Chain A
Protein backbone atom coordinates (compact mmCIF):
# COMPACT_ATOMS: atom_id res chain seq x y z
CA UNK A 1 0.00 0.00 0.00
CA UNK A 2 1.13 3.54 -0.73
CA UNK A 3 0.00 6.61 1.15
CA UNK A 4 -0.30 9.62 -1.15
CA UNK A 5 -0.28 13.01 0.55
CA UNK A 6 -1.09 15.75 -1.93
CA UNK A 7 -0.63 19.23 -0.49
CA UNK A 8 -3.01 20.92 -2.92
CA UNK A 9 -6.08 20.19 -5.02
CA UNK A 10 -3.97 20.16 -8.21
CA UNK A 11 -1.61 17.61 -6.70
CA UNK A 12 -4.57 15.50 -5.62
CA UNK A 13 -5.98 15.48 -9.16
CA UNK A 14 -2.57 14.57 -10.58
CA UNK A 15 -2.24 11.71 -8.10
CA UNK A 16 -5.73 10.42 -8.91
CA UNK A 17 -4.93 10.60 -12.65
CA UNK A 18 -1.75 8.66 -12.14
CA UNK A 19 -3.40 6.11 -9.81
CA UNK A 20 -7.09 5.82 -10.74
CA UNK A 21 -7.56 2.97 -8.24
CA UNK A 22 -6.38 5.16 -5.37
CA UNK A 23 -9.01 5.36 -2.63
CA UNK A 24 -9.59 8.93 -1.43
CA UNK A 25 -9.62 9.29 2.36
CA UNK A 26 -10.78 12.40 4.18
CA UNK A 27 -12.65 11.81 7.47
CA UNK A 28 -11.84 8.12 7.17
CA UNK A 29 -15.08 7.08 8.83
CA UNK A 30 -15.92 4.64 6.03
CA UNK A 31 -12.51 3.83 4.55
CA UNK A 32 -10.74 3.07 7.82
CA UNK A 33 -13.49 0.70 8.94
CA UNK A 34 -12.98 -1.32 5.78
CA UNK A 35 -9.21 -1.34 6.25
CA UNK A 36 -9.41 -2.19 9.97
CA UNK A 37 -11.65 -5.15 9.16
CA UNK A 38 -9.54 -6.29 6.24
CA UNK A 39 -12.43 -5.82 3.82
CA UNK A 40 -10.35 -3.62 1.61
CA UNK A 41 -6.67 -3.37 0.79
CA UNK A 42 -6.33 -0.55 -1.70
CA UNK A 43 -2.97 -0.20 -3.43
CA UNK A 44 -3.08 3.53 -2.77
CA UNK A 45 -4.69 5.71 -0.15
CA UNK A 46 -5.11 9.31 -1.28
CA UNK A 47 -5.21 11.53 1.80
CA UNK A 48 -7.22 14.72 1.25
CA UNK A 49 -6.73 16.19 4.74
CA UNK A 50 -3.98 18.51 3.58
CA UNK A 51 -6.15 20.07 0.87
CA UNK A 52 -7.44 22.88 3.05
CA UNK A 53 -9.98 24.27 0.61
CA UNK A 54 -12.08 21.11 0.94
CA UNK A 55 -12.87 22.21 4.50
CA UNK A 56 -14.27 25.57 3.45
CA UNK A 57 -17.63 26.81 2.26
CA UNK A 58 -18.97 29.93 0.60
CA UNK A 59 -22.47 31.27 0.93
CA UNK A 60 -23.51 32.79 -2.40
CA UNK A 61 -26.67 34.49 -3.64
CA UNK A 62 -28.50 31.32 -4.60
CA UNK A 63 -26.37 28.47 -3.38
CA UNK A 64 -23.90 27.35 -0.76
CA UNK A 65 -20.69 25.92 -2.18
CA UNK A 66 -19.88 23.32 0.44
CA UNK A 67 -16.37 21.86 0.36
CA UNK A 68 -16.39 18.07 0.22
CA UNK A 69 -14.67 17.65 3.59
CA UNK A 70 -16.54 20.24 5.68
CA UNK A 71 -17.33 18.18 8.79
CA UNK A 72 -20.96 17.52 9.70
CA UNK A 73 -20.36 19.36 12.99
CA UNK A 74 -19.69 22.61 11.12
CA UNK A 75 -22.75 22.14 8.89
CA UNK A 76 -24.91 21.55 11.96
CA UNK A 77 -23.55 24.50 13.86
CA UNK A 78 -22.89 27.07 11.16
CA UNK A 79 -25.15 26.42 8.17
CA UNK A 80 -28.51 25.88 9.88
CA UNK A 81 -30.10 28.94 8.32
CA UNK A 82 -28.95 28.29 4.76
CA UNK A 83 -29.17 24.50 4.73
CA UNK A 84 -31.70 23.53 7.41
CA UNK A 85 -32.47 20.09 5.98
CA UNK A 86 -28.82 19.14 5.66
CA UNK A 87 -28.09 20.55 9.12
CA UNK A 88 -30.80 18.33 10.60
CA UNK A 89 -29.50 15.33 8.67
CA UNK A 90 -25.95 16.10 9.82
CA UNK A 91 -27.11 16.06 13.43
CA UNK A 92 -28.31 12.47 12.99
CA UNK A 93 -24.93 11.24 11.77
CA UNK A 94 -23.40 8.79 14.24
CA UNK A 95 -21.75 10.63 17.16
CA UNK A 96 -19.84 13.85 17.84
CA UNK A 97 -16.53 12.09 17.14
CA UNK A 98 -17.73 10.91 13.73
CA UNK A 99 -19.39 14.23 12.87
CA UNK A 100 -16.09 15.96 13.63
CA UNK A 101 -14.43 13.98 10.84
CA UNK A 102 -17.00 12.96 8.27
CA UNK A 103 -18.40 15.20 5.54
CA UNK A 104 -20.77 15.21 2.61
CA UNK A 105 -18.03 14.33 0.11
CA UNK A 106 -17.58 11.00 1.85
CA UNK A 107 -21.30 10.25 1.85
CA UNK A 108 -21.39 10.98 -1.90
CA UNK A 109 -18.22 9.04 -2.61
CA UNK A 110 -19.46 5.97 -0.75
CA UNK A 111 -22.95 6.46 -2.23
CA UNK A 112 -24.54 4.09 0.27
CA UNK A 113 -28.34 4.24 0.12
CA UNK A 114 -28.16 4.72 3.90
CA UNK A 115 -25.95 7.83 3.84
CA UNK A 116 -27.65 10.41 6.04
CA UNK A 117 -26.94 13.41 3.82
CA UNK A 118 -28.58 12.07 0.66
CA UNK A 119 -32.29 12.69 1.37
CA UNK A 120 -31.51 16.26 2.41
CA UNK A 121 -29.38 16.88 -0.69
CA UNK A 122 -32.10 15.46 -2.97
CA UNK A 123 -34.81 17.55 -1.31
CA UNK A 124 -32.84 20.80 -1.36
CA UNK A 125 -31.57 20.26 -4.89
CA UNK A 126 -27.85 20.45 -5.59
CA UNK A 127 -25.04 19.80 -8.02
CA UNK A 128 -21.90 17.85 -7.23
CA UNK A 129 -18.73 19.54 -8.46
CA UNK A 130 -16.26 16.88 -9.55
CA UNK A 131 -12.92 17.34 -11.24
CA UNK A 132 -10.09 15.47 -12.87
CA UNK A 133 -7.00 16.60 -14.75
CA UNK A 134 -9.29 16.50 -17.82
CA UNK A 135 -11.52 19.19 -16.43
CA UNK A 136 -14.35 20.06 -14.07
CA UNK A 137 -18.05 19.27 -14.34
CA UNK A 138 -21.15 19.56 -12.21
CA UNK A 139 -23.37 16.53 -11.82
CA UNK A 140 -27.00 17.22 -10.87
CA UNK A 141 -27.83 15.23 -7.75
CA UNK A 142 -30.67 13.49 -9.62
CA UNK A 143 -28.07 11.87 -11.89
CA UNK A 144 -25.40 11.23 -9.29
CA UNK A 145 -26.47 7.93 -7.75
CA UNK A 146 -26.23 5.14 -10.29
CA UNK A 147 -26.54 1.94 -8.25
CA UNK A 148 -25.95 0.36 -4.87
CA UNK A 149 -22.83 2.17 -3.62
CA UNK A 150 -22.21 3.44 -7.14
CA UNK A 151 -22.07 6.98 -8.38
CA UNK A 152 -21.43 8.90 -11.60
CA UNK A 153 -17.76 9.60 -10.87
CA UNK A 154 -15.14 8.55 -13.40
CA UNK A 155 -12.11 6.70 -12.05
CA UNK A 156 -9.87 9.75 -12.28
CA UNK A 157 -12.34 12.19 -10.75
CA UNK A 158 -12.54 13.56 -7.21
CA UNK A 159 -15.44 15.31 -5.49
CA UNK A 160 -14.49 18.91 -4.77
CA UNK A 161 -17.67 20.55 -3.51
CA UNK A 162 -21.45 20.46 -3.53
CA UNK A 163 -23.46 23.44 -4.71
CA UNK A 164 -26.63 23.30 -2.65
CA UNK A 165 -29.60 25.60 -3.14
CA UNK A 166 -30.08 27.86 -0.16
CA UNK A 167 -33.37 27.19 1.57
CA UNK A 168 -36.20 29.38 0.28
CA UNK A 169 -38.69 27.71 2.60
CA UNK A 170 -38.97 25.22 5.45
CA UNK A 171 -37.11 21.93 5.31
CA UNK A 172 -37.31 18.85 7.47
CA UNK A 173 -35.54 15.55 7.91
CA UNK A 174 -36.66 12.39 9.65
CA UNK A 175 -34.74 9.20 10.32
CA UNK A 176 -35.81 5.90 11.84
CA UNK A 177 -33.31 4.04 14.01
CA UNK A 178 -33.11 2.15 17.26
CA UNK A 179 -31.60 5.03 19.22
CA UNK A 180 -30.73 8.69 18.81
CA UNK A 181 -27.03 8.24 18.14
CA UNK A 182 -24.77 5.78 16.38
CA UNK A 183 -27.38 4.26 14.11
CA UNK A 184 -27.42 3.55 10.43
CA UNK A 185 -30.81 4.62 9.17
CA UNK A 186 -33.50 1.95 8.91
CA UNK A 187 -34.95 4.52 6.55
CA UNK A 188 -34.96 8.29 6.28
CA UNK A 189 -36.96 11.04 4.61
CA UNK A 190 -36.11 14.60 3.66
CA UNK A 191 -38.49 17.28 2.46
CA UNK A 192 -38.00 20.85 1.28
CA UNK A 193 -40.70 23.37 0.44
CA UNK A 194 -39.65 25.74 -2.32
CA UNK A 195 -42.16 28.60 -2.19
CA UNK A 196 -40.26 30.54 -4.87
CA UNK A 197 -41.02 27.90 -7.46
CA UNK A 198 -44.08 26.60 -5.62
CA UNK A 199 -42.70 23.10 -5.58
CA UNK A 200 -41.92 20.49 -2.99
CA UNK A 201 -38.93 18.18 -3.26
CA UNK A 202 -38.25 15.00 -1.33
CA UNK A 203 -35.53 12.47 -0.66
CA UNK A 204 -35.75 8.91 0.60
CA UNK A 205 -32.85 7.07 2.22
CA UNK A 206 -32.28 3.38 2.94
CA UNK A 207 -35.43 2.25 1.15
CA UNK A 208 -34.21 1.59 -2.40
CA UNK A 209 -30.95 0.56 -4.09
CA UNK A 210 -29.98 4.24 -4.24
CA UNK A 211 -31.18 7.38 -2.51
CA UNK A 212 -34.24 8.50 -4.48
CA UNK A 213 -36.84 11.21 -4.76
CA UNK A 214 -40.50 10.35 -4.38
CA UNK A 215 -41.31 11.92 -7.72
CA UNK A 216 -44.91 10.79 -8.10
CA UNK A 217 -45.63 12.08 -4.60
CA UNK A 218 -43.99 15.42 -5.43
CA UNK A 219 -45.95 15.80 -8.67
CA UNK A 220 -49.22 14.96 -6.99
CA UNK A 221 -48.58 17.41 -4.16
CA UNK A 222 -47.36 20.18 -6.43
CA UNK A 223 -50.54 19.89 -8.50
CA UNK A 224 -52.80 19.66 -5.44
CA UNK A 225 -51.21 22.68 -3.75
CA UNK A 226 -51.43 24.64 -6.96
CA UNK A 227 -55.02 23.77 -7.77
CA UNK A 228 -56.15 24.39 -4.22
CA UNK A 229 -54.37 27.74 -4.04
CA UNK A 230 -52.57 26.58 -0.92
CA UNK A 231 -49.36 28.53 -1.50
CA UNK A 232 -51.31 31.80 -1.40
CA UNK A 233 -53.96 30.96 1.14
CA UNK A 234 -51.58 29.09 3.44
CA UNK A 235 -54.53 26.94 4.42
CA UNK A 236 -54.06 23.73 6.33
CA UNK A 237 -53.36 20.97 3.83
CA UNK A 238 -56.43 18.82 3.36
CA UNK A 239 -55.91 15.52 5.22
CA UNK A 240 -56.80 13.51 2.11
CA UNK A 241 -54.03 15.33 0.19
CA UNK A 242 -51.48 14.59 2.91
CA UNK A 243 -52.64 10.98 3.00
CA UNK A 244 -52.29 10.57 -0.75
CA UNK A 245 -48.84 12.21 -0.62
CA UNK A 246 -47.78 9.73 2.07
CA UNK A 247 -49.09 6.75 0.11
CA UNK A 248 -47.26 7.83 -3.03
CA UNK A 249 -44.05 8.37 -1.06
CA UNK A 250 -44.42 4.92 0.42
CA UNK A 251 -44.98 3.55 -3.07
CA UNK A 252 -41.77 5.17 -4.32
CA UNK A 253 -39.76 3.08 -1.89
CA UNK A 254 -38.28 -0.13 -3.21
CA UNK A 255 -36.76 -1.57 -0.05
CA UNK A 256 -35.33 -4.92 0.96
CA UNK A 257 -35.44 -6.98 4.14
CA UNK A 258 -32.17 -6.76 6.04
CA UNK A 259 -30.79 -6.82 9.57
CA UNK A 260 -32.03 -3.31 10.27
CA UNK A 261 -35.62 -3.77 9.17
CA UNK A 262 -38.06 -5.44 6.84
CA UNK A 263 -39.13 -4.10 3.48
CA UNK A 264 -42.73 -3.74 4.58
CA UNK A 265 -41.75 -1.83 7.71
CA UNK A 266 -39.63 0.52 5.64
CA UNK A 267 -42.44 1.13 3.17
CA UNK A 268 -44.79 1.88 6.03
CA UNK A 269 -42.31 4.13 7.85
CA UNK A 270 -41.51 6.14 4.72
CA UNK A 271 -45.20 6.98 4.39
CA UNK A 272 -45.43 8.03 8.03
CA UNK A 273 -42.31 10.19 7.77
CA UNK A 274 -43.58 11.78 4.56
CA UNK A 275 -46.89 12.76 6.18
CA UNK A 276 -45.27 14.05 9.35
CA UNK A 277 -42.50 16.05 7.71
CA UNK A 278 -44.99 17.57 5.29
CA UNK A 279 -47.08 18.61 8.28
CA UNK A 280 -44.11 20.13 10.09
CA UNK A 281 -42.84 22.07 7.11
CA UNK A 282 -46.29 23.26 6.09
CA UNK A 283 -47.05 24.50 9.61
CA UNK A 284 -43.77 26.34 9.49
CA UNK A 285 -44.66 27.82 6.09
CA UNK A 286 -47.99 28.98 7.49
CA UNK A 287 -46.01 30.68 10.22
CA UNK A 288 -47.79 28.92 13.02
CA UNK A 289 -45.64 25.95 13.81
CA UNK A 290 -42.20 24.89 14.70
CA UNK A 291 -39.32 26.73 13.15
CA UNK A 292 -37.66 25.80 9.92
CA UNK A 293 -34.65 24.72 11.90
CA UNK A 294 -36.64 22.06 13.68
CA UNK A 295 -35.25 19.85 16.37
CA UNK A 296 -32.89 16.96 16.09
Chain B
Protein backbone atom coordinates (compact mmCIF):
# COMPACT_ATOMS: atom_id res chain seq x y z
CA UNK B 1 0.00 0.00 0.00
CA UNK B 2 1.14 3.51 -0.66
CA UNK B 3 0.26 7.15 -0.21
CA UNK B 4 -0.42 9.37 -3.18
CA UNK B 5 -0.42 13.18 -3.15
CA UNK B 6 -1.86 15.12 -6.02
CA UNK B 7 -3.97 18.13 -6.86
CA UNK B 8 -7.65 17.54 -7.52
CA UNK B 9 -9.74 20.40 -8.88
CA UNK B 10 -7.15 22.93 -7.76
CA UNK B 11 -6.64 21.68 -4.20
CA UNK B 12 -3.88 19.51 -2.81
CA UNK B 13 -5.19 16.08 -1.75
CA UNK B 14 -3.76 12.95 -0.23
CA UNK B 15 -4.91 9.36 -0.57
CA UNK B 16 -3.72 6.73 1.87
CA UNK B 17 -3.54 2.94 1.70
CA UNK B 18 -3.70 2.98 -2.07
CA UNK B 19 -3.14 -0.44 -3.65
CA UNK B 20 -0.31 -0.35 -6.20
CA UNK B 21 -2.49 -1.62 -9.05
CA UNK B 22 -5.31 0.79 -8.29
CA UNK B 23 -6.52 3.20 -10.95
CA UNK B 24 -6.87 6.94 -10.60
CA UNK B 25 -10.60 6.39 -11.21
CA UNK B 26 -10.90 4.16 -8.16
CA UNK B 27 -9.06 6.67 -5.99
CA UNK B 28 -11.32 9.49 -7.11
CA UNK B 29 -14.56 7.56 -6.66
CA UNK B 30 -13.90 5.34 -3.68
CA UNK B 31 -11.30 7.24 -1.66
CA UNK B 32 -12.10 10.88 -2.37
CA UNK B 33 -15.87 10.65 -2.64
CA UNK B 34 -15.91 12.07 -6.16
CA UNK B 35 -18.22 9.74 -8.11
CA UNK B 36 -18.71 12.12 -11.03
CA UNK B 37 -16.20 10.24 -13.16
CA UNK B 38 -18.03 7.05 -14.09
CA UNK B 39 -16.76 3.51 -14.01
CA UNK B 40 -18.12 1.59 -16.96
CA UNK B 41 -15.77 -0.40 -19.19
CA UNK B 42 -12.49 -0.18 -17.26
CA UNK B 43 -10.60 -0.64 -20.52
CA UNK B 44 -10.51 2.81 -22.07
CA UNK B 45 -13.29 2.09 -24.56
CA UNK B 46 -16.11 4.27 -23.27
CA UNK B 47 -14.58 7.53 -22.02
CA UNK B 48 -17.01 7.78 -19.08
CA UNK B 49 -14.10 8.21 -16.68
CA UNK B 50 -12.44 11.04 -18.64
CA UNK B 51 -10.57 13.59 -16.49
CA UNK B 52 -7.87 16.16 -17.23
CA UNK B 53 -4.40 15.04 -16.14
CA UNK B 54 -2.06 18.03 -16.25
CA UNK B 55 -4.62 19.54 -18.59
CA UNK B 56 -4.78 16.56 -20.95
CA UNK B 57 -7.96 14.46 -21.28
CA UNK B 58 -7.28 10.86 -20.30
CA UNK B 59 -9.24 7.81 -19.21
CA UNK B 60 -8.71 7.77 -15.45
CA UNK B 61 -9.34 4.01 -15.40
CA UNK B 62 -6.07 3.53 -17.30
CA UNK B 63 -3.90 5.78 -15.15
CA UNK B 64 -2.28 3.99 -12.24
CA UNK B 65 -2.83 5.91 -9.03
CA UNK B 66 0.90 6.06 -8.36
CA UNK B 67 1.42 7.80 -11.68
CA UNK B 68 -0.46 10.92 -10.55
CA UNK B 69 1.88 11.67 -7.65
CA UNK B 70 2.53 15.42 -7.69
CA UNK B 71 0.32 15.97 -10.73
CA UNK B 72 -2.84 17.93 -11.40
CA UNK B 73 -6.28 16.38 -11.98
CA UNK B 74 -9.55 18.07 -12.91
CA UNK B 75 -12.76 16.05 -12.64
CA UNK B 76 -16.27 16.90 -13.73
CA UNK B 77 -16.96 18.07 -10.17
CA UNK B 78 -14.40 20.82 -10.66
CA UNK B 79 -15.34 21.68 -14.22
CA UNK B 80 -17.49 24.70 -13.35
CA UNK B 81 -14.75 26.32 -11.27
CA UNK B 82 -12.15 25.34 -13.82
CA UNK B 83 -14.11 27.00 -16.62
CA UNK B 84 -14.79 30.10 -14.52
CA UNK B 85 -11.13 30.50 -13.64
CA UNK B 86 -10.15 30.00 -17.26
CA UNK B 87 -12.49 32.84 -18.19
CA UNK B 88 -11.31 35.09 -15.42
CA UNK B 89 -7.57 34.70 -15.57
CA UNK B 90 -6.62 31.96 -17.90
CA UNK B 91 -6.51 29.18 -15.35
CA UNK B 92 -5.22 28.64 -11.87
CA UNK B 93 -1.59 27.81 -11.44
CA UNK B 94 -1.29 28.38 -7.72
CA UNK B 95 -3.67 25.67 -6.60
CA UNK B 96 -5.15 28.15 -4.15
CA UNK B 97 -8.30 28.86 -6.10
CA UNK B 98 -9.73 25.40 -6.64
CA UNK B 99 -12.75 23.51 -5.41
CA UNK B 100 -12.46 22.08 -1.94
CA UNK B 101 -13.04 18.37 -1.65
CA UNK B 102 -16.03 19.11 0.57
CA UNK B 103 -17.54 21.40 -2.05
CA UNK B 104 -16.82 18.96 -4.85
CA UNK B 105 -18.48 16.11 -2.99
CA UNK B 106 -21.58 18.23 -2.46
CA UNK B 107 -21.71 19.42 -6.00
CA UNK B 108 -25.27 19.91 -7.24
CA UNK B 109 -26.45 20.84 -10.67
CA UNK B 110 -28.13 24.17 -10.17
CA UNK B 111 -29.28 26.76 -12.65
CA UNK B 112 -26.38 29.09 -13.32
CA UNK B 113 -28.53 32.06 -12.35
CA UNK B 114 -28.17 30.77 -8.81
CA UNK B 115 -31.84 31.44 -7.97
CA UNK B 116 -33.67 30.02 -5.01
CA UNK B 117 -31.99 26.84 -3.86
CA UNK B 118 -31.18 23.65 -5.67
CA UNK B 119 -33.72 21.60 -7.60
CA UNK B 120 -33.71 19.02 -4.85
CA UNK B 121 -33.94 21.55 -2.07
CA UNK B 122 -30.72 20.20 -0.64
CA UNK B 123 -27.12 21.06 -1.24
CA UNK B 124 -26.59 23.30 1.75
CA UNK B 125 -22.89 24.01 2.06
CA UNK B 126 -22.20 23.55 -1.63
CA UNK B 127 -19.79 26.09 -2.91
CA UNK B 128 -21.48 29.27 -4.02
CA UNK B 129 -18.96 29.26 -6.85
CA UNK B 130 -19.86 25.87 -8.19
CA UNK B 131 -22.60 26.79 -10.63
CA UNK B 132 -22.54 25.25 -14.05
CA UNK B 133 -19.82 25.56 -16.63
CA UNK B 134 -20.98 26.76 -20.05
CA UNK B 135 -20.72 23.26 -21.49
CA UNK B 136 -22.83 21.85 -18.66
CA UNK B 137 -25.48 24.51 -19.20
CA UNK B 138 -25.45 23.79 -22.93
CA UNK B 139 -26.00 20.06 -22.31
CA UNK B 140 -29.04 20.89 -20.21
CA UNK B 141 -30.41 23.44 -22.66
CA UNK B 142 -29.97 21.12 -25.63
CA UNK B 143 -31.47 18.12 -23.86
CA UNK B 144 -28.23 16.20 -24.30
CA UNK B 145 -28.58 14.17 -21.12
CA UNK B 146 -30.56 10.94 -21.15
CA UNK B 147 -29.49 8.37 -18.57
CA UNK B 148 -26.53 10.62 -17.80
CA UNK B 149 -23.89 7.98 -17.39
CA UNK B 150 -21.73 9.12 -20.28
CA UNK B 151 -22.33 12.81 -19.56
CA UNK B 152 -19.41 13.55 -17.19
CA UNK B 153 -16.84 12.16 -19.61
CA UNK B 154 -18.41 13.96 -22.53
CA UNK B 155 -18.43 17.24 -20.60
CA UNK B 156 -14.73 17.01 -19.77
CA UNK B 157 -13.81 16.03 -23.33
CA UNK B 158 -16.04 18.67 -24.96
CA UNK B 159 -14.86 21.40 -22.59
CA UNK B 160 -11.25 20.66 -23.48
CA UNK B 161 -11.97 20.69 -27.19
CA UNK B 162 -13.69 24.10 -26.95
CA UNK B 163 -10.73 25.41 -24.96
CA UNK B 164 -8.34 24.47 -27.77
CA UNK B 165 -10.68 24.98 -30.68
CA UNK B 166 -13.37 27.60 -29.98
CA UNK B 167 -14.94 27.29 -33.43
CA UNK B 168 -15.05 23.57 -34.14
CA UNK B 169 -16.49 22.06 -37.29
CA UNK B 170 -18.85 19.11 -36.95
CA UNK B 171 -15.96 16.85 -37.93
CA UNK B 172 -13.83 18.37 -35.15
CA UNK B 173 -16.59 17.69 -32.61
CA UNK B 174 -17.08 14.11 -33.75
CA UNK B 175 -13.36 13.47 -33.62
CA UNK B 176 -12.95 15.03 -30.17
CA UNK B 177 -15.84 12.97 -28.78
CA UNK B 178 -14.99 9.75 -30.62
CA UNK B 179 -13.68 8.21 -27.41
CA UNK B 180 -16.93 8.74 -25.50
CA UNK B 181 -19.75 6.26 -25.93
CA UNK B 182 -23.42 7.07 -25.24
CA UNK B 183 -25.44 3.85 -25.13
CA UNK B 184 -28.71 5.76 -25.07
CA UNK B 185 -27.38 6.77 -28.51
CA UNK B 186 -28.30 10.38 -27.94
CA UNK B 187 -25.45 11.65 -30.05
CA UNK B 188 -27.43 14.20 -32.07
CA UNK B 189 -28.41 16.19 -29.00
CA UNK B 190 -24.89 15.91 -27.66
CA UNK B 191 -23.56 17.40 -30.88
CA UNK B 192 -26.24 20.11 -30.60
CA UNK B 193 -25.05 20.90 -27.09
CA UNK B 194 -21.44 21.30 -28.15
CA UNK B 195 -22.44 23.47 -31.10
CA UNK B 196 -24.55 25.56 -28.71
CA UNK B 197 -21.67 25.99 -26.26
CA UNK B 198 -19.37 26.95 -29.11
CA UNK B 199 -21.85 29.50 -30.44
CA UNK B 200 -22.33 31.02 -27.00
CA UNK B 201 -18.59 31.14 -26.44
CA UNK B 202 -18.24 32.89 -29.76
CA UNK B 203 -20.79 35.53 -28.77
CA UNK B 204 -19.37 36.12 -25.31
CA UNK B 205 -17.05 39.09 -24.83
CA UNK B 206 -13.53 37.97 -25.72
CA UNK B 207 -11.75 38.76 -22.51
CA UNK B 208 -8.79 36.74 -21.46
CA UNK B 209 -9.61 34.00 -23.94
CA UNK B 210 -7.05 31.23 -23.96
Contacts and interface: CB of A to CB of B under 8 A. Distances in A.
Interface string B58-93: 110111101101000000000000000000000000
Contact of B178 (A1, A25, A33, A180): A180
A25 B67 contact: yes
A97 B61 contact: no
A101 interface: yes
Given A97-B44, A97-B50, A33 B179 contact: no
A45 B179 contact: no
Contact of A28 (B19, B20, B67, B157): B67
A33 B62 contact: yes
Nearest to B60: A97
B163 interface: no
B204 interface: no
Interface in B153-182: 157, 175-176, 178-181
Q: What's the interface size class on B, roughly?
A: 20 to 34
Contacts of A100: 56-58
A46 B70 CA distance: 17
Given A5-B66, A33-B44, A45-B21, A96 B61 contact: no
Given A29-B62, A32-B61, A32-B63, A181 B44 contact: no
Interface stretch (A34-42, A117-125, A128-136): A34-42
A32 B63 CA distance: 7
Contacts, number: 89
Contacts of A45: 20-21, 64, 66
Given A33-B42, A37-B43, A98-B179, A28 B63 contact: yes
A95 interface: yes
B84 to A, nearest CB: 24
B47 interface: yes
A249 to B, nearest CB: 29
Contact of A41 (B21, B50, B59, B62): B21
A2 B181 CA distance: 34
Using C-beta atoms within 8 Å of the partner chain, give the interface range for chain A.
Answer: 20 to 34
Given A1-B19, A25-B67, A96-B178, A32 B47 contact: no
Interface in B11-27: 19-21, 23
A112 to B, nearest CB: 14
B114 to A, nearest CB: 32
Interface in B22-52: 23, 42-45, 47, 50
18 contacts: A1-B20, A1-B21, A3-B2, A3-B66, A5-B66, A32-B23, A32-B61, A32-B63, A33-B44, A35-B23, A45-B20, A95-B44, A96-B179, A98-B44, A100-B57, A101-B59, A101-B62, A182-B179
Given A28-B64, A100-B56, 13 more contacts: A3-B2, A28-B63, A32-B63, A33-B44, A45-B20, A47-B67, A49-B67, A97-B44, A97-B50, A97-B58, A97-B179, A98-B59, A98-B62
